[in-house]
């Protein structure tokens, strides 16, 4: 007798510890993606390293089981996006999901004028987040206050825009659409860039499409789509590989590995010259944890215990 999808999913083994790269589809919230991954992986312990709006697509980085401890070190990585900015219309949300609040002619906008307006938005800037952001104001999300009709005023925050370039432009129904590429620090709002570019040109602007293509060293090209038949365990990245992509590594012998796992300070030979965390590996190459140099030795920052994988 053939098994149905429910039986096949029920028999799928519980996923162990690792980092899962997902290509999030449009219309799905990051919370929805986490919930579906929990069902597919057979575990409740799933977290993410930064949300994507429902309108956005692209790379969502999830941690499963003990690898959720790595998410703290992934959240602050730089990010890369492709997006479409529509000049000539402003919206209440600074994206296509909000009500249009004003329009203006764009026929006079030349490429040189657009580039001149983009230039001040590169580098280290102070950015006012979108009113409908998830930033908390007195303990309540800004978007929730805005939906209740409050006049939400958010303070400017420092961000860095390493790249903001126009890939293509086209005229659409009186508007000017720009396909752009943005590389920026964590905490940057691409919707706010669209808004500020439109304001600088005097015509208004908002975001009509957004795709996250990279988080730190991890690219969406290596991320599967979230599907009901996704084998989470087979697609996860090993914690040791992820930590090794972020930090210098040191492999310990069995005695030092045991001592460090017990919270003791150790003095192994050949430590990398690093001021930040080190990825510490066991003799077999598994991730033992993250540690920091203290003089000529190592002190544990966080341990990563191995997760048991349930039998089918």
3-state secondary structure of 74: helix
| The pair of three-digit structure tokens given for residue 109, joined into one six-digit string | 């906008």
Of 73, 180, 171, nearest in space to 117 by CA:
180
| The pair of three-digit structure tokens given for residue 275, joined into one six-digit string | 């001021």
| The pair of three-digit structure tokens given for residue 199, joined into one six-digit string | 């304001």
| The pair of three-digit structure tokens given for residue 221, joined into one six-digit string | 């090209």
Maximum CA extent, the chain: 72
| The pair of three-digit structure tokens given for residue 245, joined into one six-digit string | 């992509």
The residue annotated as part of the active site, out of 53, 94, 196, 256, is: 53
Cα separation, 68 vs 72, whole angstroms: 8
From residue 175, give the alpha-carbon distance in Å to each of 70, 89, 193.
Answer: 43, 8, 17
Please report the DSSP string for 168-199 in residue order: EEEEETTEEEEEEEEEE-TT--HHHHHHHHHH
Q: Are 17 and 289 in contact (CB under 8 A)?
A: no
Any catalytic annotation for residue 173?
no
Half-sphere exposure of 57 (CA within 13 A, CB side): 14
| The pair of three-digit structure tokens given for residue 137, joined into one six-digit string | 């104001």
Q: Cα dihedral angle (185, 190, 193, 198), rounded to 10 degrees?
A: 170
Buried b (16+ CB within 10 A) or exposed e, 267-282: ebeebeeeeebbbbbb
| The pair of three-digit structure tokens given for residue 304, joined into one six-digit string | 């990563």
Cα separation, 196 vs 279, whole angstroms: 40
Which residues participate in catalysis according to the annotation? 53
């Amino acid at each position: 007798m053939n098994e149905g999808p429910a039986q096949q999913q029920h028999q799928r083994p519980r996923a162990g510890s690792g980092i899962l790269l997902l290509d999030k589809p449009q219309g799905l919230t990051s919370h929805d993606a986490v919930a579906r991954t929990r069902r597919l992986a057979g575990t409740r312990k799933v977290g993410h390293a930064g949300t994507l709006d429902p309108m956005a697509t692209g790379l969502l980085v999830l941690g499963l089981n003990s690898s959720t401890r790595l998410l703290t070190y992934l959240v602050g990585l730089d990010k890369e996006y492709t997006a479409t900015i529509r000049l000539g219309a402003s919206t209440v949300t600074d994206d296509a999901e909000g009500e249009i609040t004003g329009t203006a002619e764009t026929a006079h906008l030349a490429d040189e004028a657009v580039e001149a307006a983009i230039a001040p938005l590169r580098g280290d800037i102070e950015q006012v987040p979108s009113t409908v952001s998830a930033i908390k104001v007195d303990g309540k999300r800004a978007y929730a206050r805005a939906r209740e009709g409050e006049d939400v005023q958010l303070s400017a925050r420092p961000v860095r825009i390493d790249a903001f370039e126009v890939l293509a432009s086209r005229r659409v129904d009186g508007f000017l659409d720009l396909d752009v590429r943005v590389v920026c620090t964590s905490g940057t709002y691409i919707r706010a860039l669209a808004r500020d570019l439109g304001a600088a040109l005097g015509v208004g602007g908002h975001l009509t499409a957004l795709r996250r293509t990279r988080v730190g060293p991890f690219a969406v090209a290596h991320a599967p789509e979230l599907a009901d038949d996704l084998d989470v365990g087979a697609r996860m990245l090993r914690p040791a590989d992820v930590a090794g992509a972020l930090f210098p590594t040191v492999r310990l012998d069995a005695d030092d590995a045991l001592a460090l796992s017990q919270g003791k300070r150790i003095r192994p030979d050949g430590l990398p010259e690093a001021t930040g965390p080190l990825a510490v590996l066991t003799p077999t190459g598994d991730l033992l944890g993250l540690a920091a140099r203290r003089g000529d030795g190592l002190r544990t920052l966080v341990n990563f215990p191995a997760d048991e994988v349930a039998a089918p």
